[in-house]
A and B are shown apart, each in its own frame.
Chain A
């Protein structure tokens, strides 16, 4: 069964978080937000068995988000934002963040992982900030490389987000 994701509602929640922390400019400091929620962020070297697949996870017991230390900075930022998504969206049982999301029908965490991804994208690249910077620097939707560097996100993520920007 394919469940739908309410991106507008998720974007609204991401905006509330940005508002709560007074963040109006990129790069959105997801670590600061996590700390504000009483959550630590730690970098670890994932065991070799998982290093290729796992980007990070949140451990409820020690209220810590773990990110793979060898990942690129933008990947780490996305991982933190993704894990914050699980918390803000009230997910109970969720998976570690895999580098490539599993799409098979039987994967039980597919829906909530997609929602957390949507939250992370809305948090790191909110519409109002994107429009502001496109206008400020006379950029177009095809300037995703430049925008990705300004927002501290992946190029492909920015390209996809700009493509769907109203």
Chain B
């Protein structure tokens, strides 16, 4: 096989340059740009799926805590551990509501406004 400029000339002389226009903006670079856009979209979808998983877990945890609390509350009333006349009752209600609001705020801030998360 020839080498260097001899090889180039050998190739060029055997190639018809007719019908080989210069590569323009619609060339292979555009195809690569398309591939990049597809990949970024794919990464975005993957991220949304991961976020859904985390959302589901935290919501399930929150619901479990609320149900357990209500269970305890009902049992406590039935077993006369606490009475409706008990002055502390209002404190239990307020604490429960604060915990629900706090839990909701945590979910919203942590998952919707996460600095490290990408958005599309």
Contacts and interface: CB of A to CB of B under 8 A. Distances in A.
Interface of A: 26-27, 29-32, 40-47, 49-50, 53-54, 57, 59, 64, 66-67, 69, 73-74, 76-77, 93-96, 108-109, 136-139, 146, 149-152
Contact of A43 (B4, B8, B23, B33): B23
Given A29-B29, A57-B11, A137-B118, A42 B17 contact: yes
Rank and list the top 9 A-B pairs by shortest CB-CB distance, nearest first: A152-B32, A73-B28, A149-B39, A41-B23, A47-B14, A40-B22, A27-B32, A73-B31, A76-B28
Contacts of B21: 42
Interface in B2-37: 3-5, 7-8, 11-12, 14-15, 17, 20-23, 27-29, 31-33, 35-36
A77 B29 contact: yes
Contacts of B20: 42-44, 69
Contacts of B11: 46-47, 50, 54, 57, 66, 96
14 contacts: A31-B23, A42-B23, A44-B20, A47-B15, A50-B1, A50-B7, A53-B1, A66-B11, A73-B29, A74-B32, A77-B32, A95-B7, A146-B43, A152-B33
Interface in B25-83: 27-29, 31-33, 35-36, 38-40, 42-43, 47
Nearest to B118: A137
Contacts of B14: 47, 49
B8 A45 contact: no
A68 to B, nearest CB: 10
B85 interface: no
B88 interface: no
B40 A31 contact: no
A50 B11 CA distance: 8
Contacts of B116: 138
Which one of A59, A74, A150 has the highest number of Cβ atoms from chain B below 10 Å of its Cβ? Answer: A150
